[in-house]
Structure 1
Amino acid sequence: MKKRNETLDILKGIAILSVILGHAVQRGLVYNFDSTIIWRVVYSYHMPLFVLLSGFTLYLSNPTYNFEWVKRKFYRLIVPLISWTLLVELMCNFQFTGLKPFTIFPNSFYEFAKKSILHPDWAFWFLWIIFIFMLTFYFIDKITKKYNSIRQYQMIFLIFIVILVFKVFNLPQGYFGVADVLNYFPIFICGYYLSKYKDYIFKYVKYTLLPSALLWIVLLNKWDSNDSIAHKYIMAIVAMITVYCLVKLLEKQLKWLTYFGKRSLELYVCESIFLNIGISSGYIRVISIFITATICSLLFARILKTNKYTNFIAFGSFKSENKFRIKKIVTST
């Protein structure tokens, strides 16, 4: 069995805990969450980091782009997308979920079906765009298979097609998650090529820690939710470089984060229904929501994974894990 990359798992752990922390800040500091430094820090890098790592692992896995591969990605990404979108719709009125008012929910099943078809990314957009990226790689691989000269530059070819279709023809981007796909696709591609040329690039990344950290701090002080996409790209890049370099410096001390990194999908979907369970107010509430959402999500995911059917519906995998067991203590006399 191929050994897992611990650095990647640590980075995934940081990313998913940052997602939960960002949501906890929203629920704990309802009226001014977007003006706090912790929210700015988290939202400057957490989802771009997830997308970058997805592109990185795609190349690292060296997949065979066939129908079976597409089917596995559909099970792993789209099945949970459908299941959890329906679940949060059914649970939206429960106060402990904290889903409202941060998400606008349809008022009828017809509206829900319509919204889910036209905007399949409205609840769990990350799963949708990653599947679109995977599907795009599949089709580009098929298109360029017979043309080696194009195949060497298949991603440049792909970018050209995207620009031509959406920019030149000025097609609408308000449906089917197109806006997020276009915004995050360059980051996904960066992750893919970062993985491809990692032996060369990572030799020099350590030298960029100090300037990246300083630029990140400067950009955070000027951060605004209406910033241009170029500003957000630059901030995401310097933030991710800083996080990566710090992880490499403290990798031994951060190994415990691999536990969360290996469970990033489960945490991403499960935390959505445990976002308002906390005590007190202010930052105490933020911390308590973060802790309870993380623990409850892990426990709920563990329960769902003990049965192959619930595991498939919730996480797109038919494999089941062993049920909770209390280990017997054996003593010798």
Structure 2
Amino acid sequence: MKERLNYIDWLKGIAIITVVMGHVTAFDFLSLTDSSKSFVNRFIVSLQMPLFIFLSGLVVNYKFESVIASSKKLLYKAWILLVPVILLGIPYALWRGFTIYEFIINPTKYGYWYLITLFELYVVYYVVFSYNFLHDTKYEDFMKGCIIWIL
């Protein structure tokens, strides 16, 4: 078993606290008004999810073994990240009176956007890493090509 890095666990804890603070500061409980446009809320919101994405990328560990092994790892990530969206997110949307179509086109997916985005980033990572390994290309050259293609 791999040794846990305490500073990453601490950063995850800080990220969780900022998510809670972002939700709390989005609503002013004293005047019962929306305060999501306040400086404090905008600062917290601009920090919290990029920190989670950064930490997820920091701890990703991938060693190319074969296409089949990589596919199994990706399926495992899909199971961990997408099953909660299907089992919790869609029923929640239906319970709130929305259709599945409205759930799919909603940009925030009623709070489940992060899991979907994280899975998409894993897919991109696995594809890029596997391509580099199979074609023996330099990572920097491949990433420059991707950036040029995106632009």
- Do both share a fold (TM > 0.5)? yes
| Runs of 4+ that moved beyond 6 A | none
Query: Once the two structures are superposed, what CA deviation does each residue of 1:183-236 show, in whole Å capped at 9, x if it has no partner?
Result: xxxxxxxxxxxxxxxxxxxxxxxxxxxxxxxxxxxxxxxxxxxxxxxxxxxxxx
Higher RCO (CA < 8 A, seq sep 6+): 1
Query: Could you say which structure has the larger radius of gyration?
Result: 1
Query: Once the two structures are superposed, what CA deviation does each residue of 1:139-179 show, in whole Å capped at 9, x if it has no partner?
Result: 2233333332344543333333333xxxxxxxxxxxxxxxx
* C-alpha distance in structure 1 between counterparts of 2:133 and 2:63, whole Å: 14
**Helix, strand or coil: the match of 1:66?**
helix
Query: Once the two structures are superposed, what CA deviation does each residue of 1:255-312 show, in whole Å capped at 9, x if it has no partner?
Result: xxxxxxxxxxxxxxxxxxxxxxxxxxxxxxxxxxxxxxxxxxxxxxxxxxxxxxxxxx
* C-alpha distance in structure 2 between counterparts of 1:48 and 1:40, whole Å: 13
* C-alpha distance in structure 1 between counterparts of 2:101 and 2:139, whole Å: 38
CA contact (8 A) 2:36 2:42 kept: yes
Structure 1: tracts of 5 or more residues without a match: 93-104, 107-111, 164-333
Task: Identify the match of residue 139 of structure 1 among 121, 127, 130.
Answer: 127
* C-alpha distance in structure 2 between counterparts of 1:159 and 1:82, whole Å: 32
- Equivalence map 1:236-315=2 (5 Å): none
* C-alpha distance in structure 2 between counterparts of 1:38 and 1:91, whole Å: 32
* C-alpha distance in structure 1 between counterparts of 2:10 and 2:43, whole Å: 18
Q: Number of residues paired by the alignment?
A: 144
Who is 1:67 aligned against? Answer: 71
- Equivalence map 1:5-154=2 (5 Å): 5-29=5-29, 30-58=32-60, 61-64=61-64, 66-92=70-96, 106=98, 112-119=99-106, 121-123=108-110, 124-154=112-142
Structure 2: tracts of 5 or more residues without a match: none
* C-alpha distance in structure 2 between counterparts of 1:84 and 1:121, whole Å: 14
| TM superposition shift of 1:121 | 4.8
Comparing 137-146 with 69-78, which one deviates more in the overlay? 137-146
Q: 1:26 to 1:89 in 2, by over 3 A?
A: same
CA contact (8 A) 1:77 1:128 kept: yes
Percent of aligned pairs with the same amino acid: 25
TM-score norm. by structure 2 comes to 0.78
TM-score norm. by structure 1 comes to 0.39
